[in-house]
Amino acid sequence: MRHHGRRSAGSPGVRKHAGRVAARSIHQRRMRNAGRAQHRCALRGGAGGGEVMTRLWDKGGKLDQTVLRYTAGEDHVLDARLVEYDVKASIAHAGMLHAAGYLTDEDHAAIVDGLAELAAGHAAGAWAISLEEEDVHTALERRLVARIGDAGARVHLGRSRNDQVLAALRLYLKDAASSLRKAAEAVADALDELGGSQGELPLPGYTHMQQAMPSSVALWAGAYAAELRDDASGFRSAVRRLDRNPLGSAAGFGAPGLKLDREHTRKALGFAEVHEPVTAVQLSRGKAEAGLAFECALLVQDLGRLAGDLLLFYTQEFALVDLAPEVTTGSSIMPQKRNADALELVRAAGATVRASLLEILGIPASLPSGYQRDLQRIKAPLFRTIDLAGESCHVVCRIVRALRFNPERCGELTSARGLRAAERANRLAVEQGLSFREAYRQVAEQEKE
């Protein structure tokens, strides 16, 4: 254990440290290059061509490739979106180790700058996570060691992949929740604009798929805008369970023999609180994820109902709306067709998201306490849900902004006398002093004529 060197007040962000790379001293560059030469063989499989410790848990034995493919699953692909977040969490962890005296100034600087370089390289497409690496954590640490030498192997002190992945995942999910909130609000804004420009046009209001009472474009669009803003607020609520720092809990029981400052990493990463006790961290897996997926399900459900309305309004029989040609597709056999395929797929997205939510809820439901590998399978349905919710918002927003209601058809469908039957019953009751039930009966008789 090395207790020397200055201590940092916090863990700076990736971008701040990326700017320091160009200013690194000649001595540090030489040290880094020497480390690269020393450890490059680890990335290539070793000079002797034998099995080497390529994964964080690897102890040198040979791993059956069928088992590797099955246990790694889709992680080497899915984890691409977690690279920048694992880098941020690793920089925060390194800053805490440095402040506690477990890293020297030189090692800390090399780790931070090396991670920043790796993040920039990944963003630029210079490298990708391989199946052999399994996940983002091995991919980053292998490349860091190859880049800066032994200092890179020191970053995992006091950390397990269990708290490491959860830190990266929670940081990503916080950003995803923010993006989804903004996407839902953008659709609501588009509906407000529609209500402002075409809101005075009358529409028939429906119950039980039958004409019920007069409505308008403003009332129809305003209803969906209000519910989409309610959906947006749900993403704020979903962040509460995500906003807890898991670092320092390690595999779920802390890091015996080390004095880890969990408050340090909390501040560095912007979490609202430290997740306590350490044994609760892994027990919580799946709950915050399901909470976010549930909010996605509500959002996509509202988008699907909006899509369903527009699909009905777009039929020749209703002919209430016209969709812009650029948001419709065609038929391979019928030349006259303009199909609202995008709206149909938005309507179908609800089934996918609800199924994914059930998958996320089901995986941890019967697990004992502590980390279990079953939890890895939450990632795919979770990411699928987030992606589909965001994409659905974006396509609906584009369709709504190009939507045009047909004034003539709106007038035709709202001209029926029966559409105002309830209003006539109310007036009759008030003007003639009748009970509403008697007024209702009289108007019902009139409607039979």
3-state secondary structure 42-64: HHHCCCCCCCCCCCCCCCCCCCC
Find the range with the poorest average confidence among 21-25, 125-129, 366-370, 404-408. 21-25
Which residues, including other chains, have CB under 8 Å from residue 179's CB and lie 6 or more apart? 390
How far is the C-alpha of 248 from the C-alpha of 95, rounded, in Å? 13
User: Please, are residues 270 and 10 in contact by the beta-carbon 8 Å criterion?
Assistant: no
**Mind listing the domains of the chain with CATH numbers?**
14-157 (1.10.275.10), 163-207+214-412 (1.20.200.10), 417-448 (no CATH)
What confidence tier does 15 reach under pLDDT thresholds 50, 70, 90?
Answer: very low
Amino acid at 71: T
Q: Any idea which residue has 């680890």 for tokens?
A: 42
pTM of the model: 0.85
Q: How many CB atoms lie within 10 A of CB 122?
A: 20
Find the range with the poorest average confidence among 75-79, 280-284, 316-320. 75-79
Summarised one tens digit per residue, pLDDT across range 350-405 is 999 999 999 999 999 999 999 998 999 999 999 999 999 999 999 999 999 999 99
% of the chain residues with pLDDT over 90: 80
**Average pLDDT of span 28-35:** 44
Degrees, nearest 5: CA angle 274-297-318: 155
What confidence tier does 85 reach under pLDDT thresholds 50, 70, 90?
Answer: very high
Is pLDDT at 9 greater than 80 in this prediction? no
**Average pLDDT of span 392-420:** 97
Token duo for residue 380: 């795919």
Q: Is 321 helix (H, G, I), strand (E, B) or coil?
A: strand
pLDDT for res 38: 40
User: Please, are residues 329 and 341 in contact by the beta-carbon 8 Å criterion?
Assistant: yes
The neighbouring-strand residues paired with 322 are 404
Token duo for residue 367: 């697990």
User: Please, are residues 106 and 53 in contact by the beta-carbon 8 Å criterion?
Assistant: no
Find the range with the poorest average confidence among 68-77, 247-256, 393-402. 68-77
How far is the C-alpha of 381 from the C-alpha of 359, rounded, in Å? 7
What is the enclosing helix (H) or strand (E) of 407?
A: helix 407-413
Amino acid at 304: G
How far is the C-alpha of 340 from the C-alpha of 321, rounded, in Å? 12
Average pLDDT, the chain: 89
pLDDT for res 50: 36
**Average pLDDT of span 345-352:** 98
% of the chain residues with pLDDT over 70: 86
**Structure-model confidence comparison of residues 72 and 428, the more confident one:** 428
From residue 244, give the alpha-carbon distance in Å to each of 172, 240, 365, 370, 398.
13, 8, 22, 18, 36
pLDDT for res 54: 60
**Average pLDDT of span 155-183:** 98
Residue among 124, 32, 150, 128 nearest 77 (CA): 128
Which residues, including other chains, have CB under 8 Å from residue 360's CB and lie 6 or more apart? 286, 289, 290, 293, 378, 381, 382, 385
Amino acid at 180: L
**Beta pairing, strands 202-207 & 210-216:** antiparallel
Is pLDDT at 27 greater than 70 in this prediction? no
The neighbouring-strand residues paired with 204 are 214
What count of Cα atoms within 13 Å lies in the side-chain half-sphere of residue 132? 10
**Average pLDDT of span 23-39:** 43
What is the enclosing helix (H) or strand (E) of 204?
A: strand 202-207
Token duo for residue 399: 């369709």
Q: Any idea which residue has 């396509």 for tokens?
A: 395
